[in-house]
Amino acid sequence: MNLIGIRRKEFKLINFLTEWLKGDHTERQIVLMISLMVGVCTGLTAFVLKSLIEEIKHLLTSEIVAVAEDTNFLYLVFPAVGILISLLFVKYIVRGDISHGVTKILYAMSRGRSRIKSHNRWSSIIASAITIGFGGSVGAEAPIVLTGAAWGSDFGKRFHLQPKTLMLLVGCGAAGAVSGVFKAPIAGLVFVLEVLMLDLSFSSLLPLLVASITSVCVSYAFYGTDPLFEFNLNKAFTIDIIPGCILLGIACGLVSLYFTRAMNWFEGIFGHIKKRRYKFLLGAIVLGVLIYFFPVMYGEGYDVINQLINDAPERDIMHNTLFSATQSNLLIYLGLVLMFKVFATTATNGGGGCGGVFAPSLFLGCIAGFIFAHLWDMGLGLSMGDACYVSPKNCGLYGMAGLMSGVMHAPLTGIFLIAELTGGYNLFVPLMIVSVVSYLTINLFEPHSIYAMRLARRGQLLTHDKDSAVLTVLNLESLIERDYQPISPHISFSKFVATIAKSHRNIFPVVAPNGTLLGVVTLDSVRLYIFRPELYRQYTAGQFMKEPPAVLTVNDSPKVAIQKFKDTKAWNLPVVDEQHHYIGFVSRSGLFTRYRETLITFSQE
């Protein structure tokens, strides 16, 4: 009874707040107040997620490993246990798919509804905390972004706001999530602009800022105002290192390309496996073996980043590995980590875990920058001395920005995130050089980010181009007109004339008994025969049938439909399903009317 009473009080409080906000407030005021609440919720959610991960990790690595004889063996087992628990949680409790969090947000926004399932407010947190706490080689940022978007969507649905406003609140949730988990409000704002591709206008800027600042203030309340990573600048930027920054940007772009394509290839292997237990076995084996030989892949890897950018002893990084006997093996060890980390990340998610590529991108970027700095100094340091020396710890930061820029196609996010993560604002120029060059490099090979490419292949990606965005948001199925009267090819012409008399259409689909579309009969093709009753018994409807100029499938995008109307100059085209069963018609006038209405909505502030 006490629990029921608590739930009733909670509902009463929520309903009271809802009615109060709906009172005498304008929609703009309501949006600002909701963005404030979204910021509070995402900040608290980020704290809960990070606390859960740390508690699980502390229990496993400090308590259990401390009494074990072979810690690497436990590292072989822990990730598999985490993936299994997460898999069972998703299968039996959530009963839905919570992977690819940012991709799900992009898909929801591209459909024009921006509706995220409410369970994502908590399901992604629990699944990712279990996965990462047990050593899954992924990041917690994508799940927390999905959680934040779910908060924004949930508030928007409760207030019955318009789809465009709902999309803005989803962006507020995502911005608040990034801001809260990284204590980086500017990065949260530009993440929404670059990765979620939300158009930034004056009306949308303020709610995004409110959500970001509120969320980061909540994080400050729990963790203080210090940056996430400790960093002390020991070599300021000079113009001499610009060539090195350009080359590092190219290297980061190529590593980003390798990361993206290797992940897609390995995800394809998991996609071809139908049974979950076989996916789990493959993911657990690959991840366990990799972490056994490379313990730095355990979890998010932020402790390794701290070691690299703070000149930690090499023995600490390679502790308890096959490479720890000889300290000169550090670059070889890190090079192998750079090569195999992508498989550990993909195995974690493919096997049933929950996580994102934020942390792996930062982790690999730091390693790539560190390796590049040592190779650069060994190559030019011998011939040119200290003039062209680059700091490995500085290059670790540059590489983090470069990898994030390349993998996510988000150079501004990479620049501001690294500056805010470390307080390294004095390195803005080299961060910008590396990020931009990395983005330009990967853009030669991959036009879309790792999040967007899945949707882009299906024509479901929302972009800043309003024309393309409108075509993406439009749903062809909603444009289908189903009041056309289908006829059999064998009915007599007299019955066909009776059908014409009852219809207000001038085109008739000819359909087989099993529902397959055979062709169409137009009123123009039978007009001369309608007024000659003596011919009614000599013809059947099928004798006047002809093939339509083109056929649309229910899965075609509006862009494909427009192109077919343009090519055929037709006014109406039939729509069929995958088995070529007749569904209805789409009219040119209906399609372009809906297009104009949606374009006007997009153009309004």
**What tokens were used for 425?**
């604002």
Residue 276 lies in a domain: no
Alpha-carbon span 21 to 30, nearest angstrom: 6
Domain co-membership, 455 together with 472: no
Residues 90 and 197 in one domain: yes
> How many helices, marked H, and strands, marked E, lie in the chain?
24, 5
Phi, psi at 259, each rounded to 5°: -60, -45
Helix (H, G, I), strand (E, B) or coil at 139: strand
Does 7 fall in a domain? no
Say what the pLDDT of residue 364 is: 95
User: What's the longest Cα–Cα distance across the chain?
Assistant: 104
- On the question of pLDDT at 523 being above 90, the answer is no
Please give the mean pLDDT across all residues of the chain.
Answer: 81
Query: Average pLDDT in the 121-131 region?
Result: 88
306 and 183 in a common domain? no
pLDDT for 605 equals 41
Identify the helix (H) or strand (E) that includes residue 211. Answer: helix 202-223
For residues 215-230, give the mean pLDDT. 88
Q: Locate tokens 């393309």: which residue? A: 468
Tens of pLDDT along 60-94? 877 565 545 555 677 788 889 999 999 888 888 88
- The pTM (predicted TM-score) of the whole model is 0.75
Q: Is residue 4 part of a domain?
A: no
Q: Find which of 274-283, 488-497, 528-537, 587-596 is predicted with most confidence, using mean pLDDT.
A: 274-283
375 & 333 share domain: yes
At 524 the pLDDT is 83
Round to whole Å and give the CA distance between 300 and 310: 18
Judgement on whether residues 154 and 33 belong to the same structural domain of the protein: yes
Q: Quick check: helix, strand or coil at residue 95?
A: coil
> Domain limits at 39?
29-223
Instruction: Please compute the mean of the pLDDT values over residues 138-152 and round it to a whole number.
Output: 87
pLDDT for 455 equals 58
- What's the CA gap between 542 and 519, in Å, rounded? 9
Q: Which two tokens stand for residue 111?
A: 């459909």
Bridge partners, 573 (sequence order): 586
Q: At which of 406, 438, 461 does a domain end?
A: 461
What pLDDT score was predicted for residue 44? 92
Which two three-digit tokens encode residue 32? 């600002």
Do the domain assignments include residue 408? yes
Domain co-membership, 87 together with 115:
yes
In angstroms, the CA 500 to CA 522 distance is 10
Give the residue among 206, 160, 216 at the shortest CA–CA distance from 33.
Answer: 206
Q: Kindly tell me if the per-residue pLDDT of 454 is higher than 50.
A: yes
pLDDT digits (tens, 9 = 90+) for 296-311: 898 888 888 988 888 7
- Given this model, what pLDDT does residue 18 score? 60
- pLDDT score of 7: 45
User: What is the per-residue pLDDT for 325?
Assistant: 53
CA angle 184, 186, 188 (to 5 degrees): 70
pLDDT at 97 over 80: no
360-409 per-position pLDDT tens digit? 999 999 999 999 998 887 775 544 555 567 788 889 999 999 999 999 98
Residues 256 and 179 in one domain: no
Show the DSSP H helices in 224-271 as ranges. Answer: 242-271
Residue 566 lies in a domain: yes
State whether 321 and 453 are in the same domain: yes
Going by C-alpha positions, the residue among 41, 13, 28, 369 that lies closest to residue 215 is 41
Two tokens, residue 387? 């003039």
Strand partners, 520: 509, 546
pLDDT of 193 reads 85
> What integer pLDDT is reported at residue 122 of this predicted model?
84
Residues 6+ apart with CB under 8 A from 106: 196, 197, 451, 452, 455, 461, 462
Chosen domain end from 438, 461, 484: 461
- 321, 389 Cβ separation under 8 angstroms: no
Domain end, chosen from 461, 485, 513, is at 461
Interval 164-222: pLDDT, tens: 788 888 889 999 999 999 999 999 999 988 887 666 666 778 999 999 999 999 999 99
Whether residue 168 is contained in a domain is answered as yes
pLDDT value at position 3?
Answer: 42
In a domain, 86, yes or no: yes
Give mean pLDDT, residues 129-151. 88
pLDDT reading at 31 higher than 70: yes
> Which CATH number is 503's domain given?
3.10.580.10
Residues 418, 401 contacting (CB under 8 angstroms): yes
Is residue 405 within 8 A of residue 418, CB to CB? The reply is no
d(CA 112, CA 195): 17
Q: What is the rounded distance in angstroms from the CA atom of residue 347 to the CA atom of residue 281?
A: 10
CATH number, residue 295? 1.10.3080.10
Q: Which residues pair with 560 in a beta bridge?
A: none
To which H or E segment does residue 586 belong?
A: strand 582-587
471 token code pair: 């075509």
Measured over the CA atoms of residue 586, residue 588, residue 589 and residue 591, the dihedral's sign is positive
Distance from C-alpha of 377 to C-alpha of 382, rounded to nearest angstrom: 8
Of the pLDDT bands very low, low, confident and very high (cuts 50, 70, 90), residue 324 is low
Say yes or no to pLDDT of 438 above 90: yes
Give the β-pairing of 582-587 and 517-522. unpaired
CA distance 410 to 435: 8
pLDDT band at 249 (very low <50, low <70, confident <90, very high): very high
588 shares its domain with 483: yes
The two tokens of residue 248 are 């590092």
pLDDT band for position 20 (cuts 50, 70, 90): low
User: First and final CA of the chain: distance in angstroms?
Assistant: 49
Residue 509 within any structural domain of the chain:
yes
- The residue-averaged pLDDT of 6-25 equals 57
- In this model, does residue 4 exceed pLDDT 90? no
Question: What pLDDT is stored for residue 589 in this prediction?
Answer: 84
- Return the minimum-mean-pLDDT range out of 115-124, 186-195, 318-327: 318-327
Same domain assignment for residues 121 and 215: yes
Same domain for 89 and 218, yes or no, is yes
Per-residue pLDDT, averaged over 274-283, amounts to 90
Residue 507 has pLDDT above 50, yes or no: yes
Number of structural domains (the chain) is 3
Computed on alpha carbons and rounded to an integer, the radius of gyration of the chain in Å comes to 29
Is the pLDDT at 1 greater than 50, yes or no?
A: no
Q: Kindly give the pairing relationship between strand 517-522 and strand 507-511.
A: antiparallel
Question: In terms of domains, do 480 and 451 share one?
Answer: no
- More confident position, 208 or 95: 208
State how far Cα 475 lies from the chain centre: 21
Cβ within 8 Å of residue 585, ≥6 positions away: 480, 481, 484, 507, 509, 572, 573, 574, 575
pLDDT of amino acid 6 = 45
pLDDT bucket at 464, cuts 50 / 70 / 90: very low
